[in-house]
Structures are given as C-alpha cells and as structure tokens.
Chain A
C-alpha cells in the first residue's frame, strides 16, 4: 500500500512538472555542445548564444560546455549512446571520422551562395567530404613561430619579410646556435609547447615532417603510414628534432612555457594564433611572426580549426542551421576573432582586419593560408589514431628514444587502427 502511495506521488509530481516545463518554454529547444577553450572564445560564444536566444523567436539554444582535453572522446561516446546534441562543435580533422560514422548531416542545401562566396576556401575545403559540405567555422588557425625581436636583432638573425623567403634548415640551425648564448640560465631557445597534450603534436609537427619530405599517412592509398611516417625523410626530421633537445635548445619538460616566452627567457615560441593576444600584451612591438621554415620540401603549416556541424539525430535541423548562420554573421565572426587572434573565416571580415593586412602582426598567417603553405590534416577516418601516434612519437623522440623505433611504433598504431576499421 505504501509503495502504491509513493508511486502515486511520483506520478503526480511528474504530471505537474512536465507540462510546467513545457509551458515555460514555447520556443523549440536546440541543444549545443562546445569545447571549453580559451576564456575569450568562451566569452564570445556565450554572448552570441545569449543574443541569439533574445532575438530569435522560434528557437532556443541550450548550450553545454565540455572540457577540451577529452572533447572528441566524449562526442564519440555520446554518438554511441545516441545522446549527441543538435549543434556540435569539433576540431577540423575529426570531420572524416564523424562523416564516416554517419554522425553528421550535410548542410549544402542550407548555405546561401552569398555566404559561400564570402567564406575562406580553406574553411570550405575543411568542411567538404564526399562532395558535400558538412561544417562551417568562424575562424581558421594560423601556425608559425612567434619571436622576440630584441633577441633576433642582438643575435643578428634574419627576420623574413614574408612567406617568399622563409628560413631554410641551415638558417634555422644557425639561428639556434646564435641565440643559444644569449638566453639566461633558466631559459632555452625555442618553446615547443610540450605542456600541451592531444592534438597539438599532430597539428604542429605533421607539417614539419611534410616539409622534410615525409608524411603522416600514405596520401595515395590512405591505408597505411608505412614508409612515409617511418621512412628516411621522417627519420631525418626526427633526428634533427631530437638534436634540438640534446643540445638544450628546447625542453620536453617545461613548467610554464607561456610565461617563459612572455617574460623574455625564451626568444622563440612555436605555437598557433591562440597565443597572439597574450603574447602581444606582454611583448608589444617586440613580437614578430616568423613564417614556417622550408626544411627542404617547401614550407608547410597546419590549418583548420574548430567548426560547427549539425548531427544526424537532430530533431530541429532548421533551428541548428539558424544558429550556425547566426554565428557566421560578420559581426559575430569579428567579435570571436578579435578575442582569440584567429583568422576570420569571412573574407569581408578578414580584409577589414588590420592585423592581417600587409604590415600587420599576423599578415604571415594570411599569406600562409592563401599562399598554399597551409595544408589540411590527413583526410581519413583513421585520424584519431594519427593523433595518438603523433603525440606518442614526438614525445618519445624529444625524450631521446631511438627515432626509428619511435616512428615504427607510430606506424603500427595507425596501421592497426586502419585494420580494425576495416574488420
């Protein structure tokens, strides 16, 4: 009897609570997940969601912030559990894996030609798989070497004007040798951000391996990494990279590398656009961007960044698109990139931004992106394995392990993943 009464109580509570919840929100709810990146990105997005919810009469965005470190893993787990949100933000290269698994729907039919014509080609390239467009982003990334001008001038190191005259391998090594005597005892020459985990190693050092003549996967067949990631060219990269650590020019165990660069203990910092704003604040006019060096097979850099797609389980794809379209409005793109220093994805916004104009602080990012230096990451559903393999291998090499063995292990990780993918 008691149990029955309890059951009745629960039923009554539910009956009262559910319609109340529904009546309070007449607008259709659209769920959204985003990675908690830097503060400036979060603030901009929060503001844009709030303004969307205030102005849009039909839909309401319900956001959920997920930690960046395991963001992709959580998305995959949610996909299996059927718990994916409507609007999903994800890092560029994972799109192939998501499309392969059927997690996304194409957005071609929604995008107007007018919008498409104003979006950077690199963003469209990143979002296009199997001749369909699946995602759009507010910004593209920039990757090159931030430098402290004072150090370079003191050491007599040449500062390249643009992407036409990048450092060569010999010039890079000479710069290292010239800078080494100038750094204080608790400093080092170049910061490689070894405090990062996850995607950084593939994004940052994949391009350098390509510039040496290797690659992270066989780009003709996409079914193995054998011979490209552990071939003589990649090994040459690894041995050179390892020598930077052996000579003490770089450290694999930094405590606070951001501060090391900002407080002048380190003259060079290899990192992406997201450090521009704090670096600029710290160094002012001494901050200078060095384009990606040409290690023998042309200068190569990474591209692609976080972007937005609509999941296949979404009940309100129209609402999801309304929000993505809102994000792509020029003023919202501008608000975002002003804060995080990334390259605006809308050409009109980009052209109006002085930082990317000739003579601007980040002109080199723009040049790299439109000048063919920037290359998308490997377009393969095996990308998660490439991420793991690169992170392991680069860390092992920096620690001083045998280069060939480290790269062989990376190939094994990627190849065995491809094998299970096709099982």
Chain B
C-alpha cells in the first residue's frame, strides 16, 4: 500500500497531484457531505411517503408516484360560458365573482343578484355586477356531472381563452406550476433589471468624485443587512394605509392616487417583491462590476479619446466588451439567486400572496416538507427543482460558450 502511494505521488507530476488533492480535499469533503450525500438521500426519500412522524414510511408504488403528482398536467376544453352566468357558485362550472361595487349595490337596493327572480337587482345592479371576474369552479368529485370525470384527480391552475373558447391548464399539483411560473417571472424581470442597474451604479461610483466611498457604502449596505429584517421593514413600507410608500404617492399626486394594496393585490404583489429584492441585491452586483471596471486599463480610454470617441462610444466599444466576463458571472449568479427566492416571500406574504401570486418553488417545497411534514413529497419537489435550475444554467452556459469568452 505504502509503496503504491509512493509510486503514484512520486516525481514532480506526482507531487503536483498530491498537492491538488490536499488543496481540494476540504472542498470535496464539504461538498460531498453537505451537497452530494443529502441529494442522494433526497432522491431516495422522494420515492417514499416519508413524513416527519416517520412511523409508516414506505416506498410508494409505483416508485414515481410523487413525481407523477408533481408533473402531471393537461389542458382541458371547458364547457361554454352559459348565457346567464350564475352568481351563486354551482357544484362545478362557471360563475361570476361578486365585486365590491356589486356588493355595495346589492346593499343599497337590499336585493340579491344571485336570486334570478329578483328583477330589481338585475335592473339596478346587473351592469355593475357583470364586471365581476368569471371563475370556473372545479370540484373533482362533481366533475362527472359536466362530463369531465376523468380529470377528477386534477385541479385547475389557470384558465385562458383562445378563439372564443375557454380552456384550463389543469395539474395534479397546480401550486407547483404556479410557483414555477412565478419563479420564471421573477427571474426574467430581476436578472436583466438588476444587472443593468448594478452596471449603472458601478459606473456612477467609479467616478473620481469626492466622498465617492460614502455612496459605495450606501449602495452596498442593504446587501450586508439580513434579508428577513429588510423584508419586515419593507412590509411596513408597503402597508396600504400607513406605509411610507403610499404616503409618498399620495403626497406627490396631491391625493389623486390613493396608493396601492401592494402586497394585497395579485397584480402588484410580485412587482412589490421584485422592487424590494432589487434594492436589496443590487449593491452586490455593483461591487463586482466596479471591480471589473477598475481592471480596465486607463490607456484604452486615453487612446480612444485621442481617436475622437465620445463617452457613449467609449462605453459601447471599450467598457462593455472589457466587462464581458464580469457580466457573464453576474448574470449567472443573479439567475441562480433569483430561483432561490424565498426569504422575502415567506416574510412578506407567508401564505403565498393573493391568488398565490408570490408562491415560489422553494416556498412551496418548505410549505409541504416543513409545515405539513410531507418530507417524501418535498424531496421529490426539490429534485425536480434542482433539475430545472440545472437545465436553465446549462442553457445559459452554452449560450455564453458559443461566443467563447475572452480570457
């Protein structure tokens, strides 16, 4: 054994190899212990119905039952919307949701719009109430009454209409798909916006101005503050009645705009989280860009100035190409960080936000695995999540590779 080792690591090459192993050793051990091994365990758990209680865990049959539940999706052609959409939800089928204005009208005329015999209500409030949202009530147990019985195990994720016909995306686990879509929405907005803003800030704080370090520190300070604390503070800032942001909107518009229910409306909740996340994270990318900017040799700019290049041309033909590697790094890391979105969502909208508009993959995995103690199912969710992030990263890398990065 000893001789074997000696033979293997002898000579110059051998010594290099030994040093490589010793230097890499701690990293390999830590990665193996905290990444590879848990992932293998996760793969194993994902085929079981393991719960925190543990007592009755067994392998599911078929073994991919969890994955089947996560990944099963379908598109269903929904029945046509009836002429008079009922306001009282049926056992399964279309109904119209009552808006606040509709309910106020009902109260004013003390009538019920859901009562078809009530002529006054139809007359007085019909037009107002007709603006209510159309909702398809999907109850698995009642679906065979409207001829959709084979989809009984599915739930509705969202409805859409195409050429005047109504369709629904249905899934066995719609919250997973909603979370996935929200993740992509967040990433698609945050990655370009945050990277662009970071570059802009880096250019600003790269000026040779007095007290520029003060600005660098200011922009960077949210990064070193714990996300949970920032989320709690922003939750108060976003408060619809007393929050600073709405107060400011009211002040600037002289009270014309009453402000928004930032975290209370399905359209605004995710943008609210996006704004706050960019504010928190942009300083980190700024510092990386700043380092990149300071690596660009000054003489390039001098030479181009002599050639008569203006500021924009300098930026376009010197700064941007020289920042190429930095940009690749920033975009890759921002993407991965964006997919990890959890802290701010969990603090600001612990129930996943209005209509689950801020539910994310990590949030959902923790909800199932931790709060509802469905460890097996959550493991399967994590495996799917890792696969998706891996695919996204590989696509990004191959796009970058094809243009061969500068060394």
- B-side interface residues, number (CB < 8 Å): 44
A243 CA to B100 CA in the complex, in Å? 8
Please determine whether B95 and A388 come into contact, CB atoms closer than 8 angstroms. no
Q: Which of A70, A97, A395, A404 contacts B89 (CB 8 A)?
A: A404
CA distance A251 to B242 in the complex (A): 12
**Contact for A255 among B49, B104, B135, B239, CB less than 8 A:** B239
- B376: nearest residue on chain A (CB-CB)? A420
Q: Is there contact, CB below 8 Å, between B264 and A396?
A: no
CA–CA, A399 and B261, complex, Å:
9
Q: Is there a chain A Cβ closer than 8 Å to B371's Cβ?
A: yes
A217 to B261, CA, bound (A): 32
| Chain A residue at minimum C-beta to C-beta distance from B236 | A255
User: Is A6 an interface residue, CB under 8 A from the partner?
Assistant: no
CB of B60 within 8 A of CB of A423, answer: yes
What 1/0 flags go to A399-411 for Cβ under 8 Å of B?
1111011001000
Cβ-neighbour of A73 out of B98, B155, B355, B371 (below 8 A): B371
B133–A402 CB distance below 8 A: yes
* Distance of A97 Cα from B138 Cα, bound (Å): 30
Given contacts A388-B371, A408-B137, contact A399 B242 (CB under 8 A): no
Complex partner residue of A420 from B55, B95, B377, CB under 8 angstroms: B377
Whether the pair B141, A226 counts as a contact (CB closer than 8 A) is yes
A416 to chain B, nearest CB (A): 8
Task: List which B371-401 residues lie within 8 A (CB) of chain A.
Answer: 371-375, 377
Q: Which of A246, A253, A395 contacts B100 (CB 8 A)?
A: A246
Interface membership of chain B positions 26-62, coded 1 if the CB is closer than 8 angstroms to chain A and 0 otherwise: 0000000000000000000000010111110000100
B158 sits at the interface (CB 8 A): no
User: Considering only CB atoms and an 8 Å cut-off, how many residues of chain A contact the other chain?
Assistant: 40
A100 near B53: Cβ-Cβ < 8 Å: yes
**Bound CA–CA A391/B312 (angstroms):** 54
* A401 and B354 form a contact (CB under 8 A): yes
> A41 on the interface (CB 8 Å rule)?
no
Name the interface residues of B57-99: CB closer than 8 Å to any CB of A.
60, 65, 89, 95, 97-98
Q: A102 on the interface (CB 8 Å rule)?
A: yes
Judge if B166 is at the interface, Cβ distance under 8 Å: no
What residue of chain B has the Cβ atom nearest to residue A402's Cβ? Answer: B97
Interchain Cβ contacts within 8 Å, total number: 94
The chain B residue with its CB closest to the CB of A73 is B370
Q: Contact at B351–A396, with CB atoms within 8 Å? A: yes
Please, which residue of chain A has its CB at the minimum distance from the CB of B266?
Answer: A401
Chain B residue at smallest Cβ distance from A78:
B52
On whether the beta carbons of A77 and B52 are closer than 8 Å, the reply is yes
Residue B241, interface by CB 8 Å: yes
Mask: chain A, 142-160; 1 = CB below 8 Å from B; 0 = not: 0000000000000000000
Q: Which residues of B contact A395 (CB under 8 A)?
A: 351
Q: Is the CB of B241 within 8 A of A76?
A: no
Q: Are A420 and B374 in contact (CB under 8 A)?
A: yes
Q: Which residues of A contact B261 (CB under 8 A)?
A: 253, 399
Chain A positions within 8 Å of B241 at CB level:
251, 253
| A101 x B354 contact (CB < 8 A) | no
State A100–B242 Cα separation when bound (angstroms): 46
CA distance A292 to B52 in the complex (A): 37
In B229-263, which residues have CB < 8 Å from any A CB?
Answer: 236, 239-242, 261, 263
Say how far A75's CB is from chain B's closest CB, in angstroms.
Answer: 9
Are B351 and A80 in contact, with the CB atoms below 8 A?
no
Cα separation A280 to B302 with both chains bound (whole Å): 75
Q: Which of A106-149 contact B (CB under 8 A)?
A: none
B103 in contact (CB, < 8 A): yes
A80/B354 contact (C-beta < 8 A), A402-B97, A402-B133, A405-B97 known = no
A103 CB–B CB distance under 8 Å? yes
Query: Would A101 and B55 be within 8 Å (CB), given that A400-B100, A417-B372 are in contact?
Result: yes
List residues of B (95-146) whose CB comes within 8 Å of A's CBs: 95, 97-98, 100, 103-104, 133, 135, 137-139, 141
From A80, A197, A246, B375 is in contact (CB under 8 Å) with: A80
Are B374 and A401 touching (Cβ within 8 A)?
no
Whether A385 is near chain B, meaning CB under 8 Å from some CB there, is yes
Which residues from B are CB-within-8-Å of A404? Answer: 89, 95, 97, 135, 137
Complex interface: chain B residues within 8 A of A101 (CB) = 51-55
Q: Are B52 and A76 in contact (CB under 8 A)?
A: yes
> For residue A382, which residue of chain B has the nearest CB?
B372
Interface residue A79 (Cβ < 8 Å from any Cβ of B)? yes
Q: Shortest CB–CB separation between residue B47 and chain A, in angstroms?
A: 12
Is A162 in contact with chain B by the CB < 8 A criterion?
no
Query: Which residue of chain B has the shortest Cβ distance to A406 in the bound complex?
Result: B355
Most buried by B among A384, A388, A405: A405
- On chain B, the residues within 8 Å of A70 by CB distance are 370
Chain B neighbourhood of A186, CB < 8 A: 242
Among B65, B133, B138, B264, point to the contact of A252 (Cβ < 8 A). B264
B53 touches A102 (CB 8 A): yes
CB pair A400 B373 closer than 8 Å: no
B350 at the interface (CB under 8 A from A): yes
Q: Which of B344-385 contact A (CB under 8 A)?
A: 350-352, 354-355, 367, 370-375, 377
Given A400-B100, A405-B135, residue A253 in contact with residue B264 (CB < 8 A): yes
> Residue A412 at the B interface, CB < 8 A?
yes
Chain A proximity of B191: nearest CB distance (Å): 29
Q: Are A385's CB and B352's CB within 8 A?
A: no
Residue of B nearest to A224 (CB): B141
Q: A294 interface residue, CB < 8 Å from B? A: no
Task: Report A35 CB to chain B, min CB distance, Å.
Answer: 16
In the complex, A102 Cα to B49 Cα: how many Å? 17
Encoded as 1 (CB less than 8 Å from any B CB) or 0, chain A from 370 to 403 comes to 0000000000000011001001100110011110
How far apart sit A253 and B372, CA to CA, in the bound complex (Å)? 26
A252 to chain B, nearest CB (A): 7
A100 to B56, CA, bound (A): 10
A253 to B133, CA, bound (A): 24
A82-105 vs B: 1/0 string, CB under 8 Å? 000000000000000100111100
Q: Do residues B52 and A253 form an inter-chain contact, with CB atoms below 8 A?
A: no
> In the complex the two chains form, what is the Cα distance from A101 to B355 in whole Å?
33
With A251-B241, A384-B372 known, 20 other A-B pairs at CB within 8 A are A80-B53, A101-B52, A102-B55, A197-B350, A226-B139, A226-B141, A255-B236, A255-B239, A384-B371, A388-B367, A392-B352, A396-B351, A396-B355, A399-B261, A402-B97, A402-B135, A404-B135, A417-B372, A420-B49, A423-B49
What are 23 sample pairs from A and B whose C-beta atoms fall under 8 A apart? Answer: A73-B371, A79-B53, A80-B53, A101-B54, A101-B55, A226-B141, A235-B89, A243-B103, A246-B100, A246-B104, A252-B264, A253-B240, A253-B264, A255-B236, A384-B372, A388-B371, A388-B372, A396-B354, A405-B97, A417-B372, A417-B374, A420-B374, A423-B60
Instruction: For the complex of A and B, list the 7 residue pairs with the smallest distance between their C-beta atoms, beginning with the closest.
Output: A101-B53, A76-B52, A402-B97, A404-B89, A392-B351, A80-B52, A76-B373
